[in-house]
Structure 1
Amino acid sequence: MVVFILIDGLRPDAIAPADCPNLKRLIARGAATMRATSVMPSMTLPCHTSIFHSVPPQRHGISSNVWSPMARPLPGLFDLAKAAGKRSAFAYNWEELRDLGRPGSLDLALFRSTAYQADGDDIIAAEAARALPGGGYDFAFVYLGTVDTAGHYYGWMSEGYIAQIAAADRALGVVEAALPADTVYVLQSDHGGHERTHGTAAPEDMTIPWLVAGPGIRAGHTIAAPVSLLDTAPTIARLLGIAPHPEWEGRCVEEIFV
């Protein structure tokens, strides 16, 4: 099983000062980079559309947190997984992400509108931990949105923001504890932030953590090659044993594999 966990708004330089032992343990036992890059505009919905469809906003056309249909549609990761006979699940707490896959692409969708409350990631993690084991899923995406909310409320790198990373890490631990030992984890952010905002081309907004850990993945490895969030879908496709779509612009990060 491949589980993709995204912690919205997580800056890589916030990991060291945060109380996040689960995340730090994943980094230590996997292949990681703290210098992966986001896309412009570095906002949640454009970034997620790029993550799942492996094309920049200039191609998919979503440039704000308001969804619109693509002028030139192409299938995303959920869609290709469904076409390949894979079972996919999605647990999330920010409703605007509902269109990452086409209707019919998911076998399980769990949404709770909790991204704007301090314990919101705990709630969605508990739902995921209850529903994912034993469901026969090949791929699951778990979205944790409260760190971004804390950044907007307290400011990125503030005490309140760093404290919320610890809360998201506890949610990560709940999901991990419920899943088999041979689960492969992909974990990243979509963007960073500065002051109380993001969306610019500043390094604080554009630099994100990106890691993969589990069987068949190099342990304790720092990824040397440049990584973009466009590379996530092709890499997960490789982990699932399916071919990437020919119009995807990212690449599989081959360096992570043993």
Structure 2
Amino acid sequence: MKVLLILADGMRPDSLTNIPQAQKLIKESAYTLSGETVSPSVTLPCHISLFHSVTPQRHGTTTNTYAPQVRPINGLCEVLKQADKKCAIFYNWEEIRDVSRPNSLAHSCFYAGRRIGYKEAGEALTADAIGYLKKYDTDFTFIYFGYPDWAGHKYGWMTEEYLQAIQSSWDNIEKLMAELGDEYTYIITADHGGHDRTHGSDMPEDMVIPVIIKGKGFDAGKILENVNIMDIAPTVTKILGVTPDEEWEGRALI
């Protein structure tokens, strides 16, 4: 079994209401539309918490500038590498590079969303991911789409432009799943939500995230309870048969 984790930055659960691909996948998956992220609900702290299964107060990154850990914790990619698993990351916001340490990845692919446009960068990394994963055996893959967050900051969360960015991300998700098939367990989530043209508060609009999981062991239509973003890394290791780091605070959802 392989795992493909897809994250759409700033994707609120209520943004999925009129997204056909999302509604179809929810029916086929175990899911929650009331998962919780960490505080502060800011992109890089949330990602470091996702990959290291601890709070920002523990890992030390509380803004979008990475802070080296005083008491380092092995993240998801480091734990998987120690278990001889291969990891790949595809992303279009450069700071995502900090979710893993040097030498822990088999492959990484970055398109500068700020330079070529987040929509175009998302489409390009989707095509690259499909090509790479069909050629190279990879146990865990992370794909990051920054378009919704960019649109939220520029136009406002839940605006027409933001919802177009959500739809674009799901068009890419649909392509990935169609091309890669049933060999994978798919996890689709967000790092945080947003309100007006910002996020970072403890408001539900910022803190509540969707978590959708399709794969063996996850019953279609099952509602997952009490889900936190810190539960994702232990869930991935459980699926792959790898022991999680003893300092992780999350729990496996299977």
> What TM-score bracket applies, with the shorter chain setting the length?
over 0.9
Answer 1 or 2: which has greater helix percent. Answer: 2
Most deviating of 196-205 and 123-132: 123-132
Is 1:90 matched with 2:103? no
Residue 252 (structure 1) aligned with residue 221 (structure 2): no
Taking the aligned partners of 2:51 and 2:24, their CA distance within structure 1 comes to 26
**Deviations, residues 55-102 of structure 1 (Å, cap 9, x unaligned):** 000000001000121011010000000000101111011110102111
Q: Residue 136 of structure 1 corresponds to which residue in structure 2?
A: 137
State the secondary structure of the residue aligned to 1:13. helix
Q: What CA distance in whole angstroms lies between the structure 1 residues aligned with 2:217 and 2:122?
A: 29
Aligned positions of 1:26-175 closer than 5 A? 26-114=25-113, 116-175=117-176
CA distance in 1, matches of 2:60, 2:160: 36
Structure 1 stretch 106-115 or stretch 241-250: which is displaced more? Answer: 106-115
Percent of paired sites with the same residue:
43
Question: In the alignment, residue 243 of structure 1 is paired with which amino acid?
Answer: T
Q: Distance in 2 between matches of 1:181 and 1:100?
A: 27
Partner of 2:77, secondary structure, is helix
| Mean CA deviation greater in 126-135 or 28-37 | 126-135
The number of equivalent residue pairs is 251
Give every structure 1 segment of 4 or more consecutive aligned residues whose post-TM-superposition deviation is greater than 6 Å.
Answer: none
Q: Any stretches of 5+ residues in structure 1 without a counterpart?
A: none
Residues in 2 aligned to 1:253 and 1:32: alpha-carbon distance in whole angstroms: 10
Deviations 1:209-230 (A, max 9, x none): 011101222112112x201001
Q: Secondary structure at the match of 1:143?
A: strand
Q: Which moved more, 1:169-178 or 1:236-245?
A: 169-178
Contact 1:8 1:146 in 2 (8 A): yes
**Which position in structure 2 is the counterpart of 1:232?**
232
Distance 1:31 1:180 in 2: 18
User: How far apart are 1:183 and its partner, in Å?
Assistant: 1.2
Letter in 2 for 1:206: M
> 2:246, 2:35 → 1: CA distance?
23
Tell me the TM-score normalised to structure 1 length. Answer: 0.94
Where 1:70 maps in the other structure, the secondary structure is coil
Match of 1:216 in 2: 217
- TM-score normalised to structure 2 length: 0.96
